[in-house]
Amino acid sequence: MSWVTELARADIVALRVYEHAAWRPELQRLHANELPWDPSGRDAREGLNRYPQPQPRALLERLAELYGVSPASVLLGRGSDEAIDLLCRAFCRAGMDAALVCPPTFGMYSVSARIQGAAVIEVPLLAEHGFALDEQQVLERCTARTKLLFLCSPNNPTGNLLEPETMEEIAALARKGLYVVSDEIYHGLVYESKEHSILEFTDHAFVINGFSKLYAMTGWRLGYLIAPPEFVRPIQKMQQNLFISANDFVQWAGIAALEEASEEVEAMVRTYDQRRRFLLPRLREIGLGVAVEPHGAFYILANARRFSDDSYSLAMDILEKARVAVTPGIDFGSNAEGFIRFSYANDLKQLEKGVQRLADYLSRLQG
């Protein structure tokens, strides 16, 4: 474990982990800080008034099968945001370490690193290059302080996917000591293309995923981290001192989703693709620019600079005057300023109504 201690924070490695006390009927439980009484009159041993099993074997095994890894490499948690936070806690020391991000992208990577007092290094994805990742720029910006590289494919907000050749280059960086964090929460929501996991190219990486997007279970808060086995225990120590675990009934819902929802998921993906193919040409027709078509997630990042360079003010004006809610590009990084993110997670009738309202608004704006 010495090399793990060198990479992860030593004070985190030294923590103790919470161990779930399995129910054994012959024991008199005088140690637990759980209420041994159920107001419904059911036997308290059914478990809903007890702390859940933090890492239920049945769910870990099913998640491990998805990626072809050992259950010992999987850590279950309360959504993928928890995994981002835990990784930054584990690797980033205040004033000493750094995380590298590639905006426009999900803002939680930078937020979590900064909360830990770490520096954030940015390698912007440029609009004029189709928001494609430049792996050479990543290499040049990495320093000895850089502990984590966050990537998201399919990306939020662009919907872009990383090419296999790019991922191979990134994997080479990982093998040199930089840890890649691959956010794969939108895997499965891909159209006319194919997504790839970083684990196809290196095992020197972390994968973040969950049930919020592919299984439409955002409110359930269930996610997971796939990590090199040597890191699972140190990260689990933090998790269980901070959060304990995902709720018991949510864990069972995750198993049900994996075992029973495949047909519903396939239908949902087909529906998203139908909405995507509707929204892309309509946004262009009303004067917004979409240079590169998204092939993943359920977003379109459209260029609105002909109307305003202030995406936040524009989004608020659209909300107030057109009664359409959109997301300003500045939320995802300064290089997305002047862009607006559209989600096609809503139904087709709502998309049609929203685009028509937006068309009327932009027509009035141009005078």
pLDDT tens-digit map of 229-288:
999 999 998 888 888 888 889 999 999 999 999 999 999 999 999 999 999 999 999 999
The predicted pLDDT at position 1 comes to 44
pLDDT digit string (tens) for 194-233?
A: 999 999 999 889 999 999 999 999 999 999 999 999 999 9
pLDDT at 19 > cutoff 60: no
Residues in the chain: 367
**253/219 Cα distance (integer angstroms):** 12
What band does 37 get if pLDDT is binned at 50, 70 and 90? low
Ramachandran assignment for 221, one of left (phi > 0), alpha (psi -120 to 50 degrees), beta (any other): left
| Ordered domains of the chain (ranges, CATH) | 2-18+54-260 (3.40.640.10), 263-366 (3.90.1150.10)
* CA contacts within 13 A on the Cβ side of 44: 13
Least confident stretch, 20-34, 87-101, 177-191: 20-34
**82/224 Cα distance (integer angstroms):** 9
The predicted pLDDT at position 338 comes to 97
pLDDT digit string (tens) for 123-180?
A: 999 999 999 999 999 989 998 899 999 999 999 999 999 999 999 999 988 777 789 9
Are 79 and 210 within 8 A, CB to CB?
yes
The predicted pLDDT at position 241 comes to 81
The predicted pLDDT at position 172 comes to 87
* CA contacts within 13 A on the Cβ side of 25: 2
For the chain, the average pLDDT equals 89
pLDDT digit string (tens) for 315-329?
A: 999 999 999 999 999
Backbone φ, ψ for residue 264 (5° rounding):
-65, -40
Residue 51 C-alpha from the chain's centroid: 26
Residue 243 C-alpha from the chain's centroid: 18
Which residue type, as a one-letter code, is found at position 307? F
Which residue type, as a one-letter code, is found at position 240? Q
Question: 313-326 burial by CB neighbour count: b if 16+ within 10 A, else e?
Answer: ebbeebeeebebeb
